[in-house]
Amino acid sequence: MSLLLEEMPSSVEQTLQAHRNGTGDTPMSLVIKADLLPNGQIGERWVAIDPQMVRVLSSEASQASASQVEIALPFPEIASAETENLVGGGALIAITKSGERIELARFTTLLAGRMAGTARFVTALAKEEEPPTLAELEDQERLCPNCGRPLPEDNDVCRFCINKTATLGRLLAYAAPLKWQAVLLVMLMFAGTAAGLVPGLIILRLTDDVLIPQTPVSRDQRLVLLGWLVVALAVSQLLTTGIGVWRGRLSAYLSGTITYRIRTQLYERLQWLGLSFYDKRQSGALMTRVTQDVNELNNFLVDGLQILVVNGLTLLGIVIVLFLQNWRLTLLVLIPIPFVILSTRTIWKFLRRRFQRLWALRSSMNAGLNSTLTGARVVKAFAQEDREITRFNRRALNLTEAQMSVEQWWATLFPLIGLIMTSGQFIVWYVGGRQVIGEVITFGILNMFLYYLTRLYEPLQGMTRIADWLSRAVTAAERVFEVVDTDPDVKDVPEAVAMPDIKGAVTFENVSFGYEKGRRVVENVNLTVAPGEMIGLVGHSGAGKTTIINLISRFYDPTEGMVTIDGVDMKQVRVSDLRGQLGIVLQEPFLFPGTITDNITYAKPDASPEEIIRAAKAANAHDFIMRFPDGYDTQVGERGVKLSGGERQRLSIARAILHDPRILILDEATASVDTETEKQIQEAIARLIKGRTTFAIAHRLSTLRNADRLVVMDKGKIAEMGTHEELMEKENGTFRRLVEMQTEINKLRSDTVALED
């Protein structure tokens, strides 16, 4: 088997050919190009893999006839391979059987998926297993055929190459359920345009039949006709105004309904997307999409779209009327229009890039503002107000400069276009004036031309504004649809199994998982937990404890292996059934703005007052709640800022008790609280875990003495498993070392406190 993922330079091919000739003509298994040099600069390195060896070659065909082999690593020395994240890219690492880590090549993020596949390829050969096929390798890195950027997982849509016309069409497709209202709106646009053209024809009659009559007419007849024409002019104006009001109100209804659908669809998708989506994005940037981006779409639908359609119809109507009156003069009037259109298209492309940068800077500022306001306590605790002010000022300055640049270009370019458009007036005055003097046309026709010329350039100026509306709207729509089109990585399969009554048996079967491709956080985990059993998860920071919890909660799906619930693959179980019978008490409990009752009943909104009080008492929360003047109606503030850490934790436990889960997860539930509060929380937890399958992480290992079993995690693998007593009996055991280390730290703390006293 020979897999060639790139066309090799001749120098590399010569070197590999020489080595194959020297080793019995062994065929290459895989040849892949890395796009960074060892120093991190842009350059080429080639990784060539055959069944006996991994080689890394330079690519310098212009300096030498053959490339230099920089690394040659025999497979008998290799245990596995993986990728490591670096700033702006990553590195392909070979791990020897002695534990040494050898950097084979560096690469940019564009090759992250392909290099992750290469790492699996090397690992498979090192373990004498079947390596991935070419199709499997290429599936790891799907690139956009147009721009070469990586495509999103489970999605073939490249947001950099979205068809702008298709994006606009998709936006308008939201009006399909309101098609009759949309048809009425279009009819009103036609009617309003027609009514707006009537005054020009009346001006023609006023001039040629009343003010400067072309045939002898008595004074009385002229006065009567003047009255009727003025009334007709007033009626046409009233009709135009009335249609405009009706059209505006209907447009507001349509645009409001459409943007409501878009906003709710966007929010619904945000709710269903997995945590991996949020791991890569800031909440402030996502908030911008729900609020500001959707508002831009509303502005386009209310104003921009009407400007486009109404002004387009007005232009067409005026040109037709003028052609019917004097086609030669009309052609002269239209001379500036091609220049206006060409200039507008050029300016649109020019400004659109600046609008995109403006949007990115605005989103960045919102994200930074959100994180700073959310972490206000931390900012003040470390006296970092000046630093945060400086950071915000820098973001605000960048945004202001970008906004000023856009507005300045706008203020410079579009008046020039206006000047080009008004140049038609000079042509009409001169050519039309000569024709009036030569009695080719009447003064009424010239007057009508001048009127329509003003009406013609007004829509044209409005049409130039369409560049702004379209640019903002398409950019906003792309950002919204990027989220809407993102497929949740955790979702129900087509025929998901309903499990309304979970017993609580949990099994990990050869489970491996990594938050990023090629970098496993847990590997080959096997664990069987019986219903009602309490499992304590212990280990150093980064050992994989929280990842195990995340997999049980199905916040993520395993990369390899399977997690089962009551013998059923978790991927086959309805997500709502699983989450509906799973309770979580986090180290940092999250409380929503609202009352204490609102937060306790979050998982069970229809709970009775008796159930709420019972849950609060079981969580040792009832007494402190009743000390508040408003009791259970007390407002907790943003994230529960009005409560202490222990009070927030007990409300979180009350919420879990009321939820009555079959599987309970305790993630450092007693961390960062004083001894008395910890005692109250431990009592509440003891009531909570009865009869439930429980997984508990605790920084104080002594709190896990009552666990049925302890699972000791180390570097993503289960290092030990057993009861507290069994693990303490192991002289060189990992758990025993952790306990002894913690005991020593506690002793040092006690000695320090004693000295201070």
Residue extents of the structural domains in the chain: 3-139, 164-484
pLDDT band at 428 (very low <50, low <70, confident <90, very high): confident
User: What is d(CA 122, CA 32) in angstroms, rounded to the nearest whole number?
Assistant: 12
Q: Read off the pLDDT of each residue in 745-750 and give the average, rounded to a whole number.
A: 62
Interval 253-282 mean pLDDT: 82
**Helix (H/G/I), strand (E/B), else coil: 81:** strand
Taken in order 411, 413, 415, 418, is the CA torsion positive or negative? negative
Going by pLDDT thresholds of 50, 70 and 90, the confidence category of residue 35 is confident
pLDDT at 722 over 70: yes
Give me the percent of the chain exceeding a pLDDT of 70. Answer: 83
Mean predicted lDDT score pLDDT of the chain: 80
CA proximity to 697, closest of 659, 666, 654:
666
| 582-626 per-position pLDDT tens digit | 888 877 778 888 898 998 998 788 889 898 998 888 888 888 899
pLDDT above 90: percentage of residues in the chain:
8
> Greater confidence, 75 or 420?
75
Q: How far is CA 327 from CA 319, 320, 321, 449, in A?
A: 9, 9, 9, 11
The fold adopted by the segment(s) 164-484 is ABC transporter transmembrane region fold (1.20.1560)
Average confidence (pLDDT) over 124-140? 67
CATH number of 3-139: 2.30.29.30
Mean pLDDT of 405-413: 83
- Of the listed ranges 149-158, 239-248, 713-722, the least confidently predicted one is 149-158
The residue assigned the tokens 């609020």 is: 291
Look-up: residue for tokens 């080793």?
A: 23
Give the span between the Cα atoms of 16 and 25, in whole angstroms.
Answer: 10
Between 150 and 230, residue with greater pLDDT: 230
- Give the span between the Cα atoms of 537 and 589, in whole angstroms: 19
State the average pLDDT over residues 386-396: 84
The string of pLDDT tens digits covering residues 630-665 is: 899 988 887 777 888 788 888 888 888 888 888 988
Predicted confidence (pLDDT) at residue 4 exceeds the cutoff of 60: no
pLDDT at 531: 92
**The tokens of 338 are what?**
């091609």
How many CA atoms lie within 13 Å of 265's alpha carbon, on the beta-carbon side?
17
CA distance 731 to 264: 59
pLDDT at 133: 65
Q: What is the predicted pLDDT for the residue at 362?
A: 78
Return left, alpha or beta for 440; rule: phi > 0 is left, psi -120 to 50 is alpha, else beta.
alpha
Residue with tokens 């400086």: 390
191-205, 561-575, 648-662, 667-681: segment of lowest average pLDDT: 667-681
Three-class secondary structure of residue 295 per DSSP:
helix
Q: What is the pLDDT of residue 61?
A: 45
SS3 113: helix
The structure tokens 């359920």 sit at 177
- pLDDT, one tens digit per residue, over 447-465 is 888 888 878 777 776 676 6
Q: CA 735, CA 705: separation in Å to the nearest integer?
A: 12
pLDDT above 60 for 84: yes
Residues 6+ apart with CB under 8 A from 95: 78, 79, 80, 81, 82, 101, 102
Q: What pLDDT does residue 594 have?
A: 87
By mean pLDDT, which of 142-156, 492-506, 706-720 is the weakest?
142-156
| Residue 527 confidence class, pLDDT cut points 50, 70, 90 | very high
